[in-house]
């Protein structure tokens, strides 16, 4: 990691492994406090329950946020079948249950293939998308009617990694703006049941990979060495 002055002058992109139960802004705030750099931003929000690659831009590198957000993203996702939550993730309340049909590998691969390419997704009610200037999740939390909004995204690859009688584990390579929660629900529906996204790890953004990411503890340790005059 560069010194504070160097990061401010030329900018720096940090590849951080966001821990579960942290918001993306929690990570930004932590890095800002450690580096004492005022201009800190991130390129692509991860929900609090999710973990994995989060790109943090320091100083002049914040000008690259839009470019970085346009890069393809890779995820490993676990889909719980037979239950659906109001938020489509593990933080919500179960609102629907349905039997799970008997699954087999051929069926699962066939259904996944149906989602590869350009698809239309419904934006989740519990999302930060706006309608008439208001965040959808704020309307949903107040119990107000949430309009059905849709967007077009692209799924480049879908790979079946593991499965059981009531869950799937898949790898996803997708475009900017893809709602993996919606994809999880739609895959479950196509299988003839309901489902929600129970776990999510972002493993890559463009060339920035999880195996190269720094944990928050790594950043803290590096910063302590820098303050102490070490390399």
What's the pLDDT at 150? 74
CA–CA separation, 101 and 50 (whole Å): 28
Residue ranges per structural domain of the chain = 4-70+208-227, 73-205
Contact 13, 55 (CB under 8 A): yes
Assess whether the region 4-70+208-227 and the region 73-205 belong to the same CATH fold: yes
CA distances (Å), origin 136, targets 87, 131, 145, 150: 12, 7, 9, 13
Question: What does pLDDT average to over the chain?
Answer: 88
Query: Would you say domain 4-70+208-227 falls under CATH 3.30.2350.10?
Result: yes
Residue 47 catalytic?
A: yes
How is the chain split among helix, strand and coil, in percent rounded to 5? 30, 35, 35
Rounded Cα distance between 138 and 77, Å, is: 26
pLDDT at 123: 77
In this prediction, residues 40-56 reach a mean pLDDT of: 93
Strand partners, 12: 58
Catalytic position from the list 26, 47, 86, 166: 47
Phi-psi region of 21 (alpha: psi -120 to 50; beta: other; left: phi over 0): left
- pLDDT digit string, tens, across residues 76-95: 999 999 999 999 999 999 99
Class of domain 73-205: alpha beta
The Cβ-side half-sphere exposure at 168, using a 13 Å CA radius, reads 32
15 pLDDT above the threshold of 70: yes
| Choice between 136 and 116, residue whose per-residue pLDDT is larger | 116
What's the sign of the alpha-carbon dihedral 28, 89, 142, 150?
Answer: positive
pTM of the complete model beyond 0.85 = yes
pLDDT (tens digit per residue) in 144-156: 656 667 789 999 9
């Amino acid at each position: 990691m560069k010194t504070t002055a160097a990061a401010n002058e030329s900018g720096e992109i940090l590849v951080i492994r966001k821990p579960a139960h942290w918001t993306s802004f929690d990570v930004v705030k932590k890095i800002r406090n450690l580096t004492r750099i005022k201009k800190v931003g991130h390129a692509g929000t991860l929900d609090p329950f999710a973990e994995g690659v989060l790109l943090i831009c320091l100083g002049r590198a914040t000008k690259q946020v839009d470019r970085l957000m346009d890069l393809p993203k890779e995820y490993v996702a676990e889909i719980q079948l037979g239950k659906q939550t109001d938020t489509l993730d593990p933080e919500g309340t179960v609102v629907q249950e349905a039997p799970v049909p008997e699954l087999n590998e051929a069926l699962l691969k066939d259904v996944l293939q149906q989602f590869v390419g350009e698809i239309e997704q419904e934006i989740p009610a519990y999302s930060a998308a706006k309608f008439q200037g208001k965040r959808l999740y704020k309307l949903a939390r107040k119990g107000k009617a949430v309009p059905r909004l849709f967007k077009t995204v692209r799924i480049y690859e879908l790979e079946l990694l593991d499965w059981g009688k009531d869950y799937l584990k898949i790898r996803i390579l997708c475009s900017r703006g893809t709602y993996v929660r919606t994809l999880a629900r739609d895959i479950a529906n196509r299988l003839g049941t309901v489902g929600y996204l129970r776990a999510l790890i972002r493993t890559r953004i463009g060339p920035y990979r999880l195996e190269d990411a720094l944990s928050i503890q790594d950043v803290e340790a590096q910063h302590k060495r820098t303050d102490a005059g070490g390399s």
